[in-house]
Chains A and B, each alone.
Chain A
Amino acid sequence: GAVVSQHPSWVICKSGTSVKIECRSLDFQATTMFWYRQFPKQSLMLMATSNEGSKATYEQGVEKDKFLINHASLTLSTLTVTSAHPEDSSFYICSAREWETQYFGPGTRLLVL
């Protein structure tokens, strides 16, 4: 099946700093990628839909100025958590769609101190 990579796999940062997470589709082109956030023992919550060459579509309650998404190519989407705070600590997972199937990246664990 298709492979999606995410980098970094985990990051610890100080409050107030910005963190960039990369999501790559390795063996297919993805015009649409998705960013999810998962808190412990909870389901995946869709944050935004990233469309190549256009602005991302954010879900209700997700601040677009805080979670900057860029989808500059058909194989790369980035999520930047700006001015991170401890409450942003979470597991961030991206996915890319090939036809009707979603392929997930391994996730990025973010801990903001």
Chain B
Amino acid sequence: GQQVMQIPQYQHVQEGEDFTTYCNSSTTLSNIQWYKQRPGGHPVFLIQLVKSGEVKKQKRLTFQFGEAKKNSSLHITATQTTDVGTYFCAGWDSGTYKYIFGTGTRLKVLA
């Protein structure tokens, strides 16, 4: 079946360092969303990317959608302790139209 893998699975960074998580789908996605889930919380929508090659920025966060619409990345510049959480990508598979979550990347920021 379709898989959406994220790497790395875990990342510990020192506060102020940059962080990137990569999302790779085995099939083409019609669009992709990114979520942040704090420990004990539910996924909170961050952003949606629709177009091939699209790049969007939200303050220190930069999101990119691959040209083939099968991969995406989230880059955080100068991490802060408030960035702690698990970041998930998710998207609609353009064939089955199922909404699939990535495996997630758990970020820990050390002060």
List chain A positions with a Cβ less than 8 A from chain B: 1, 34, 36, 41-46, 49, 60, 93, 95, 97, 100-107
Stretch at the interface among B14-22, B57-65, B97-105: B97-105
**A103 touching B42 by the CB < 8 A rule?**
no
**A44 touching B43 by the CB < 8 A rule?**
yes
A78 CB to nearest B CB, Å: 18
**A107 touching B33 by the CB < 8 A rule?**
no
**A46 touching B98 by the CB < 8 A rule?**
yes
Contacts of A45 in B (CB 8 A): 101
A100 to B30, CA, bound (A): 10
Majority SS at the chain A contact face: strand
A101 to B48, CA, bound (A): 8
A11 CB to nearest B CB, Å: 16
**A46 touching B33 by the CB < 8 A rule?**
no
Q: Which 7 A-B pairs have the closest CB atoms?
A: A107-B42, A44-B101, A43-B104, A43-B101, A106-B42, A43-B103, A104-B43
List chain B positions with a Cβ less than 8 A from chain A: 1, 30-31, 33, 35, 41-45, 48, 50, 88, 90, 92, 98-104, 106
- Chosen A-B contacts, 14 in total, with CB atoms closer than 8 Å, are A43-B103, A43-B104, A44-B90, A44-B101, A45-B101, A97-B99, A100-B31, A100-B50, A102-B33, A102-B45, A102-B90, A102-B99, A104-B42, A105-B42
Contacts of B1 in A (CB 8 A): 60
A49 to B92, CA, bound (A): 13
A84 to B43, CA, bound (A): 25
B94 CB to nearest A CB, Å: 12
A57 to B104, CA, bound (A): 25
**A46 touching B103 by the CB < 8 A rule?**
no
Contacts of A106 in B (CB 8 A): 41-42
B103 CB to nearest A CB, Å: 5
Contacts of B102 in A (CB 8 A): 43
Contacts of B106 in A (CB 8 A): 41
B100 CB to nearest A CB, Å: 7
**A103 touching B99 by the CB < 8 A rule?**
no
B22 CB to nearest A CB, Å: 15
